[in-house]
């Protein structure tokens, strides 16, 4: 990751796992990781959408064991580093050791934006294993800039070299992104970098990434073609093009990225990434983006509306990982609903 | 039983204090002493006003008064229990351990207490384990469960520093309990902390993989019977709606509201630990009586 001052992370093979219902195969990983590497992307994240150990009834089982995918990705890149995601409470430390043995060298340790104190032992182990280690504060819209800084400091003290403002619900706006990134940039050590991970639910992922960069974020996440949870992420190829036009130096190059998007990723997408009624609602109400497909599935099964489920999930202030609440809510809505005509 | 079995509580914090109120209501157990550090702490003040002996002499007081402490409820920390356990055992007393020390076998009152009534030390596993293992056992009593998975969601405020520092211990210990006690071939546990204000009541979802041919009515009946059994010692233990069957699985939604003896009602995760610990003590007392062991 030499050269440009800004590190570009592509999470197509992790956040995109949500949009693919975790049905990703080795061949797709080799194609996507290899193509991103050749286009100059610095970091390629590969894991179950809910991080290592995410394969489950609750989040969906993976088509292919994620460690097999990680190994394939490591073998497909020459320059890019392979990252993994881990949510303490879902994945465990052994998963980190195994990912490191297979050649992953960057890790993001993710917690809800108020619960950073469940992450220090995982962050410390990650450093010990030699991972480049980032803390990932999910659902950042649910904490104030000052509150987020306190949480970021817990991760920094544990050893995180980068701390992310993670807009898991795509609910932040350029100003609210800026306030959070500035709070972290101003309050953390100079040597600690700040990252931003945006979602497209309010059509602001690119604008928010620009705002984050202006406020001092030097790790920026995207997913090629936006392939990710909810309405998707900041499309990596758009980030590359826009940052180039803004004069922000990246190792990734625009024309090769356009080809990766069009020729490699778009063909494997199950559906287009849209800001439709349900995904717009995620951003508007501040609901975890990966709830979308689960809510659609529950809506179909219980003959209730996706919108009603998501509104209720928002009311109950669900945090990331509470996918089990969706079936519960859908069943409850179905039992109280008047029969549809 | 004519005489109640004397019990000691090691630890005067939230758990120890809540435990005291539950033990006060027990038909066959009686809390006699609470061991703490700060005599002015809320827990020790309450213990004094309830007529318990309070002491700062630690486990030494217990081993020098064995007649006062047949059962020792450990509500300190895993580290403290590791130091205390050998002394308690040597004095011929039994530990009911609410810490994650895991020195003795894990116990879930309606499932496996019979097997361990003579153990010098029994461990209460985890809050998620106490809420979910009975349900996995209920399903596996009817049909093979090749895989069980649970998701425990608890209020952030009810997750203490011990849980937070070693969250892997929760997932690992609970998963092992789903297998060894619940009867699943393979277990997985997930824990989520939710900071919503007002705090939410503990929720647990249990997924069991089952055969599409499994007898759903029998599974429903077994689940309902187990709910009733657990609710007999954890009154706030409820099912949210009917179990949901899909082709290859059944999902059971549980909610645990605390009795608010000392802990807030939302902290069902803590309440189920103290309530189950008391149930373990009561069962052990009954078995001792049945086996003719003197109190």
The full DSSP string for A268-337 is: G-SS-----HHHHHHHHHT--TTHHHHHHHHHHHHT--HHHHHHHHHHTT--TT-THHHHHHHHHHHHHS
Tell me which residues of chain B have a C-beta less than 8 Å from any C-beta of chain A.
149, 151, 153, 156, 161, 164-168, 170-172, 188, 190-196, 200, 203, 205, 207, 209, 240-242, 244, 249, 251, 253
Question: Which residues does A188 contact at the CB level (< 8 Å), separation at least 6?
Answer: A149, A152, A153, A156, A163, A194
Instruction: Yes or no: say if B210 and B143 are a contact pair by the CB < 8 Å rule.
Output: yes
CB neighbourhood size of A179 (10 A): 18
Contacts of A320 in chain B (CB under 8 A): 192
**What tokens were used for B31?**
């809390």
pTM of the model: 0.95
Mean per-residue pLDDT, A142-167: 98
CA distance B209 to chain A (A): 9
A79-98 average pLDDT score? 98
Task: Note the residue count of chain B.
Answer: 295
Q: Tell me which chain A residues have a C-beta less than 8 angstroms from the C-beta of B164.
A: 115, 117-118
Total residue count of chain A as it appears in this document: 341
Where does the pLDDT of residue B59 fall: very low under 50, low under 70, confident under 90, or very high at 90 and above? very high
DSSP secondary structure letters along B197-242? SSPPPEEEEEEEE--TTS-HHHHHHHHHHHHHHHHHH-TTEEE-SS
Structure tokens at A213: 């960069």
Nearest-Cα distance to chain B for A2, in Å, is: 35
- Residue B153 with chain A: CB contacts under 8 Å: 322, 324-325
Taking residues B107-119, what's their average pLDDT?
94
Segment A16-29 mean pLDDT: 96
Inter-chain residue contact B194 with A322, CB threshold 8 Å: yes
* Residue pairs between chains A and B whose CB atoms are closer than 8 Å: 92
Question: Span A284-311, mean pLDDT?
Answer: 95
Largest interatomic CA distance in chain A? 62
Query: How high is the pLDDT of residue A169?
Result: 97
> Looking at chain A, which residue has its C-alpha nearest residue B246?
A301
Q: A36 to chain B nearest CA, in Å? A: 33
Q: What is the mean pLDDT of residues B59-65?
A: 94
Quick one: average pLDDT of A60-86?
Answer: 98
Q: How confident is the model at residue B161 (pLDDT cuts 50, 70, 90)?
A: confident
Looking at residues B276-284, what average pLDDT do you find? 97
d(CA A235, CA A221): 9
* Nearest-Cα residue of chain A relative to residue B194: A319
A147 touching B (Cβ < 8 Å): no
Amino acid B2: pLDDT: 54
Nearest to B167 among A88, A320, A321 (CB): A88
Rounded Cα gap, residues B110 and A334, in angstroms: 33
Residues A260, A262, A266, A272: what is their CA dihedral angle, to the nearest 10 degrees?
130
Residues in chain B with CB shorter than 8 Å from the CB of A92 are 168, 171-172
Q: Which pLDDT score, from 0 to 100, does residue B205 have?
A: 97
Instruction: Tell me if chain B has a CB within 8 Å of the CB of A335.
Output: yes
Tell me the chain B residues in contact with residue A322 when contact means C-beta distances shorter than 8 Å: 151, 153, 192, 194
Cβ–Cβ of B164/A317 closer than 8 Å?
no
The pLDDT score that the predictor gives to residue B1 is 45
In whole angstroms, how far apart are CA B151 and each of A57, A321, B8, B133, B239?
10, 9, 33, 12, 14
Q: Please give the residue of chain A at the shortest CA–CA distance from B188.
A: A56
What is the pLDDT averaged over residues B9-16? 96
Does the annotation count A18 as an active-site position?
yes
Record: contact B241-A335, CB cut-off 8 A: yes
Give the tokens for residue B189: 């546990």
Interface check for A150 against chain B (CB to CB < 8 A): the answer is no
At B46, phi and psi to the nearest 5?
-65, -40
A319/B contact by beta carbon, under 8 A: yes
Closest of A321, A123, A46 to residue B150, by C-alpha: A321
Report pLDDT for B293.
77
* CA–CA dist B176, B25 (Å, integer): 32
Q: Is the pLDDT of residue B160 over 90?
A: no
Which of B165, B188, B205 lies closest to A324 in CB terms? B205
Of B192, B203, B244, the CB nearest to A89: B192
Helices (H), chain A: 15-19, 26-39, 66-76, 93-101, 120-128, 145-158, 174-187, 205-214, 236-245, 254-259, 277-285, 291-302, 306-315, 324-336
A92:B153 CB<8 A: no
A1 CB-near residues (< 8 Å, 6+ apart): A7, A42, A43, A81, A251
Strand A106-112 to A132-138 pairing: parallel
Give the pLDDT confidence of B209-265 residue by residue, as tens digits. Answer: 999 999 999 999 999 999 999 999 999 999 999 999 999 999 999 999 999 999 999
**Residue A291 CB partners (closer than 8 Å, separation 6+):** A282, A310, A313, A318, A323, A326
Q: Does A299 touch chain B (CB under 8 A)?
A: no
Among A55, A322, A324, A337, which would you mutate to test the B interface (most chain B Cβ atoms within 10 Å of its Cβ)?
Answer: A324
Q: What is the mean pLDDT of residues A57-79?
A: 97
Q: Do A92 and B168 touch (CB under 8 A)?
A: yes
pLDDT band for A123, please (50, 70, 90 cuts). very high
C-alpha to C-alpha distances, A183 to A5, A111, A120, A145, A209, nearest whole angstrom: 20, 18, 21, 6, 16
Average pLDDT over residues B144-173: 94
CA A73 to chain centroid, in Å, comes to: 18
- 3-class DSSP assignment, residue A18: helix
Q: Which residues of B are catalytic?
A: 127
For residue A251, give the DSSP letter. S
Report whether the peptide linkage leading into residue B198 is cis, meaning its omega lies within 30 degrees of zero.
yes
Q: Does the distance separating the beta carbons of A331 and B242 come in below 8 Å?
A: yes
Task: With CB atoms and an 8 Å threshold, state whether B253 touches A118.
Answer: no
* Burial class for B51, CB neighbours closer than 10 Å (0-12, 13-18, 19+): exposed
Q: In the predicted model, what is the mean pLDDT of residues B119-136?
A: 97
Give the pLDDT confidence score for residue A341 in this predicted structure: 41
Report residue B295's pLDDT band, with 50, 70 and 90 as the boundaries.
low
Instruction: Centre a 10 Å sphere on the Cβ of residue B160 and count the other Cβ atoms it contains.
Output: 13
Q: Do B205 and A58 touch (CB under 8 A)?
A: yes
What pLDDT, on a 0 to 100 scale, did the predictor assign at position A2?
Answer: 53
The b/e string for A115-149 (b: 16+ C-beta within 10 A; e otherwise) is bbbbbbbbbbbbbebebbbbbbbbbbbbbebebbb
Write down the catalytic residue from A18, A48, A112, A199.
A18
Q: Which residues of chain A are within 8 Å of residue B171 when distances are taken between CB atoms? A: 89-90, 92
Which residue from B minimizes the CA distance to A92? B168
CB contacts under 8 A, A 100-129 vs B, are 112, 114-115, 117-118, 120-122
For residues A130 and A66, give the distance between their C-alpha atoms in angstroms, rounded to a whole number: 20
């Amino acid at each position: 990751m030499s050269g440009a001052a800004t590190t570009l992370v592509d999470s197509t093979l992790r956040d995109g796992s949500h949009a693919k219902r975790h049905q990703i195969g080795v061949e797709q990983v080799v194609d996507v990781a290899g193509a991103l590497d050749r286009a100059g992307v610095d970091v390629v994240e590969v894991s179950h959408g809910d991080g290592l150990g995410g394969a489950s009834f609750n989040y969906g089982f993976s088509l292919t064991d994620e460690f097999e995918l990680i190994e394939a990705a490591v073998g497909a890149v020459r320059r890019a580093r392979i990252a993994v995601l881990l949510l303490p409470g879902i994945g465990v430390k052994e998963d980190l050791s195994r990912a490191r043995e297979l050649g992953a060298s960057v890790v993001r340790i993710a917690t809800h934006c108020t619960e950073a104190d469940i992450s220090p032992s995982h962050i410390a182990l990650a450093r010990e294993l030699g991972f480049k280690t980032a803390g990932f504060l999910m659902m950042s819209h649910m904490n104030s800039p000052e509150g987020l800084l306190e949480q970021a400091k817990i991760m920094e003290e544990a050893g995180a070299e980068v701390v992310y403002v993670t807009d898991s619900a795509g609910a932040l706006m350029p100003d609210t992104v800026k306030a959070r990134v500035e709070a972290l940039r101003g309050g953390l050590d100079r040597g600690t970098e700040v990252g931003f991970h945006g979602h497209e639910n309010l059509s602001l992922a690119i604008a928010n990434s620009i705002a984050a960069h202006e406020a001092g974020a030097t790790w920026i996440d995207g997913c090629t073609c936006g392939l990710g949870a909810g309405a998707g992420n900041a499309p990596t190829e758009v980030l590359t093009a826009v940052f180039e036009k803004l004069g922000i130096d990246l190792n990734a190059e625009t024309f090769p990225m356009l080809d990766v998007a069009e020729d490699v990723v778009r063909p494997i997408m199950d559906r287009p990434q849209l800001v439709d009624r349900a995904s717009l609602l995620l951003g508007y109400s501040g609901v975890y983006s990966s709830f979308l497909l689960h809510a659609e599935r529950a809506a179909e099964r219980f003959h209730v509306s996706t919108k009603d489920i998501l509104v209720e999930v928002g009311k109950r202030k669900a945090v990331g990982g509470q996918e089990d609440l969706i079936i519960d809510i859908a069943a409850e809505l179905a039992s109280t609903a008047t029969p549809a005509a | 039983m004519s005489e109640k079995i004397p019990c000691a509580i090691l630890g005067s914090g939230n758990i120890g204090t809540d435990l005291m109120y539950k033990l006060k209501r027990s038909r066959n157990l009686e809390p006699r002493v609470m061991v703490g550090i700060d005599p002015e702490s809320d827990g020790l003040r309450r213990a004094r006003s309830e007529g318990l002996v309070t002491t700062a002499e630690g486990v030494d007081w217990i081993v020098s008064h064995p007649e006062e402490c047949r059962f020792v409820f450990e509500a300190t920390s895993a580290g403290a229990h590791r130091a205390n356990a050998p002394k308690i055992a040597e004095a011929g007393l039994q530990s009911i351990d609410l810490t994650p020390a895991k020195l003795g076998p894990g116990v879930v009152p309606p499932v496996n207490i019979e097997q361990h009534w003579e153990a010098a030390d029994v461990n209460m596993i985890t809050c998620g384990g106490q809420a979910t293992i009975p349900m996995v056992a209920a399903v596996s009593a009817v049909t093979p469960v090749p895989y069980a998975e649970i998701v425990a969601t608890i209020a952030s405020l009810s997750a203490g520093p011990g849980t937070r520092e070693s969250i892997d211990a929760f997932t690992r210990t609970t998963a092992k309990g789903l297998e060894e006690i619940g009867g699943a071939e393979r277990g997985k546990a997930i824990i989520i902390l939710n900071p919503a204000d007002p705090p939410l009541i503990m929720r647990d979802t249990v997924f069991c993989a089952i055969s599409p041919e499994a007898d759903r009515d029998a599974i429903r009946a077994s689940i309902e019977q187990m709910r009733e059994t657990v609710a007999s010692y954890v009154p706030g233990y409820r099912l949210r709606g009917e179990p949901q069957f899909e082709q290859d699985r059944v999902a059971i939604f549980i909610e645990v509201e605390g009795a608010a003896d000392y802990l807030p009602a939302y902290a069902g995760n803590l309440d189920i630990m103290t309530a189950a610990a008391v149930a373990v003590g009561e069962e052990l007392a009954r078995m001792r009586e049945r086996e003719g062991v003197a109190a």
